[in-house]
Amino acid sequence: METPVRAAHCGKASMRDCRAVHLGRPAEALWAGPSGAGLPGGDGAGARKQRGGGATPAPARPRGDGASERCRRRGAACPPPARCPPMPDGELPVGTCPDMCPAAERARREEERRLHRFEVAPGGRRDPPRADPLRAVKEYSRPAAGQPRPPPSQLRPPAVLLATVRYLAGDVAERADASRAEVAGFVADRLRAVRLDLALQRAGDAERAVVLEAALAVLLAVVVRLGPDAAGGPADPVLLQAQVQEGFGSLRRCYAQSAGPHPRQAAFQGLFLLYNLGSVEALHEVLQLPAALRSCPALRTALAVDAAFREGNAARLFRLLRTLPYLQSCAVQCHVGRARRGALARLARALSTPKGQALPLDFMVHLLALDGLEEARDLCQAHGLPLDGEERVVFQRGRYDEKAPLPAGACELLVGSKLGGRTLEEAVMAEEEAVGVDRPKSPA
């Protein structure tokens, strides 16, 4: 069975980032300069060797070298290229931008007419549209190898990054005037920029973990709201899946590289396992964690869910899924359809007879945690099983098949109902506030 760890394929626009994720290297490390001192852990261009041998490669020709050559031929002196002053000993800067989007980027995107409609002041009819400083959010810009790092004025400090995540969860994710695909595409891009800003500056371990945890939680909650018909739209589910894996990679590296403590580490390590349910690699990585961490209730529950999924124990699996909190339910939602199909296949093998054997649909609803009889009928018909009236399904030998795609299910019982009347921001950030860790305070 293919899992998100293996299936995180993406289009041409982010293939390099996906390769970085699978190799355990952060996508943000692409901003390493020629000397390899761009980010901690990045090997940089200066550490690369030519293929097939250990000889030192010829230095790459810097950009603008042609213009300098023309100046030398004319006997004129060329001014040196503008560069940001290097930090001492490769030290990363501290962000100083007070806004969710730097003023320079707002002005540039205004001029280029690249503002998203979520970032324009309401009721404004100017041409070109003007950015609202309280709504504009820094967009993700792919790091270019060899380019200087952005100055501190273009980097948002952890407090502003956390406030940005809260804004995306509370004001953007709940918008009723936009499709869920449009919201997911916007939020995912801006959260990717949050992770990049954090990677390019110096921040405390606790601050870094809190921002990455909040960003990942919001991304999970937004992605789970997408329907199966979102493919090819403004938010490609496969690309979003790859970004979720990037988020897990950044957060788990933060845990591994710092001493902690991180009060929510067990919960997010459990989210990682639930999102990659059935993955041998994910289970192996979780089992390498310290025993004290594995004994935490959140991680023990995730391990129990994974075991039930592997064993094909549908009764235990869906009993556990009913008890999961909202975020954990968001993480595991992408596996629910396949788990139901596997359970239905086992029922068909056990109950099918030449004449057919009927089973009440109520039993199916309870066993597979379906949202009602209508969803149970759709599931059975999608697998070729005939119905006996409105309330029973017939298991007849040779009728079961898996040719049709899985029917789209809302997972209201297993996911949506667990919001409990809370907003997305309240559901995502409530656990963080209950922990009581020292975290950066959002600016007023």
Taking the CA atoms of the chain, what radius of gyration do you get in angstroms?
25
Cα dist from 195 to 76, 190, 246, 273, 443, whole Å: 44, 9, 9, 21, 19
Helix spans in 200-335 (H): 205-223, 237-257, 265-275, 280-287, 291-294, 297-311, 314-323, 326-332
Residue with tokens 């490669």: 57
pLDDT (tens digit per residue) in 10-47:
444 444 444 444 434 444 444 444 333 333 333 433 33
pLDDT at 440: 44
pLDDT at 258: 86
pLDDT at 146: 81
Please provide the CATH number assigned to the domain covering 4-35+90-336+415-435. Answer: 1.25.40
Measure the CA–CA gap between 151 and 377, rounded to whole angstroms. 59
pLDDT at 390: 87
pLDDT (tens digit per residue) in 234-253:
678 889 999 999 999 999 99
Measure the CA–CA gap between 197 and 438, rounded to whole angstroms. 20
pLDDT at 91: 82
Measure the CA–CA gap between 164 and 440, rounded to whole angstroms. 12
Measure the CA–CA gap between 96 and 98, rounded to whole angstroms. 6
Largest CA distance in the chain: 96
Residue with tokens 């891009």: 189
Sign of torsion over alpha carbons 279, 284, 286, 287: positive
192, 131 contact by CB (below 8 A):
no
Residue with tokens 């094909």: 312
Q: Is residue 199 classed as helix, strand or coil in its secondary structure?
A: helix
387, 350 contact by CB (below 8 A):
no
Q: Is residue 120 classed as helix, strand or coil in its secondary structure?
A: strand
pLDDT at 52: 40
- Domain spans, the chain: 4-35+90-336+415-435
Beta-strand pair 357-360/392-395: antiparallel
Low-confidence stretches of the chain (pLDDT < 50) are: 1-85, 433-444
Angle of helix 205-223 relative to helix 424-435, nearest 10 degrees, comes to 150
In this prediction the pTM is 0.77
157, 94 contact by CB (below 8 A):
yes
pLDDT at 366: 96
Say how many Å lie between the first and final Cα of the chain, rounded. Answer: 48
pLDDT at 194: 98
Cα dist from 219 to 20, 275, 401, whole Å: 20, 12, 35
143, 196 contact by CB (below 8 A):
yes
pLDDT at 233: 61
359 beta partners:
393
Measure the CA–CA gap between 234 and 161, rounded to whole angstroms. 24
pLDDT at 36: 39
